[in-house]
Amino acid sequence: MMKTSLRRIGLAAVASGALALGLAAPALASTQSSSGYQFRTLNDQRDVTFNQLLGIDNHGAIVGYFGSGAAGHPNKGYRLYLPYGQGNYSNENFPGSVQTQVTGLNDLGVTVGFWSTQNTANMTNNNFGFYRVNGHYHTVNFPTGNNASPQVDQLLGVNDRDVAVGFYTNAQGNNRGWTYNIRTRSFTRVLVPGAPAGVAGPSLTATAINNLGDVAGFYAKSSAQTDAFLQLHSGRFITLAVPGASMTQAFGVNDRDEVVGAYTTGSGSNTATHGFTWRPGSGFRTVDDPHGQGTTTINGVNDAGDLVGFYTDAAGNTDGMLAIP
């Protein structure tokens, strides 16, 4: 897959014009768990072995991709519409790309993601950010002369004001978070308060933004610790760290400042990844799909609290997941 510090990435060329529709794989029966969510597995039939759902809007549209990104199995972006899993997966791939991931969307039909010209055996591929408005694709890359090689730029979320968030990787291997205003075509860095903004600053990835302008993501607090964050539009920077976790990463945020993501515990063969939600005044709540205990990641959340993400099943497949409270 397209290599990045995120837990996901990789991509297939499609012609511009009408979107092809794929058939949905039979979804697993809805499952209620002790976490208070009803879970449903959603996989595109074109590759039932690897699906990741990355964003959900307030109308119930979901974006994601299939394909592991391994050589010969490129990532292919799609959008899934209501009713969920009824054969309505539509292709969404950057024209002329080899791989595409659709990572986020707003309620007005704008989608964001990234694409690549490569699908290499070692899965170290170039990445270029994009947004799609009214069927037209536009590439967005942070203006810098200090890019990694190969180049890595990704857009990961967008709000209804057409402000997107993402990151690039610099030549030193550190991620640099930023926002991009689609209307004004302007960039703004997302920084840890008090930290240097240059080469020496901590690696930071901005992953989501709500309509208030609050930004979620994660950063390297130390060489051994990665923490999530929520930066409010007022400038207040809130560090989010699950107690006992070596890594806490935020991937989504809604207009209620409910943050979702994943955290990691243990090491070696005992390593486990759990999904979480965090709400102001309530704190963390673990959310694991019953079919993938210890392998759940939550990527997106809408204002109703519906969650999307993925898990690894007993057969070793990566399955798209919808969780409804």
Region of poorest pLDDT, from 24-33, 232-241, 286-295: 24-33
Rounded to an integer, what distance in angstroms lies between the CA atom of residue 39 and that of residue 275?
13
Q: For the chain, give the mean pLDDT.
A: 90
Instruction: State pLDDT tens for residues 309-318.
Output: 999 999 999 9
Q: Which domains does the chain have, with CATH numbers?
A: 21-324 (2.120.10.30)
Question: How crowded is residue 199: how many other Cβ atoms within 10 Å of its Cβ?
Answer: 11
pLDDT for 218 beyond 60: yes
pTM for this structure? Answer: 0.90
Starting from the edge strand earliest in sequence, which strands make up the sheet with 128-133, in order? 99-105, 111-116, 128-133, 136-140
How many degrees, rounded to 5, is the angle at CA 116 between CA 141 and CA 261? 75
> Pick the residue with more confidence: 5 or 230?
230
3-state secondary structure of 217: strand
Each residue of 114-161: pLDDT tens digit? 999 999 999 999 999 999 999 999 999 999 999 999 999 999 999 999
Q: At residue 151, what are phi and psi to the nearest 5 degrees?
A: -65, 140
Let me know: does 113 contact 157? Beta carbons within 8 Å: no
Give, in order, the Cα–Cα distances in Å from 314 to each of 121, 248, 276, 319: 26, 24, 21, 11
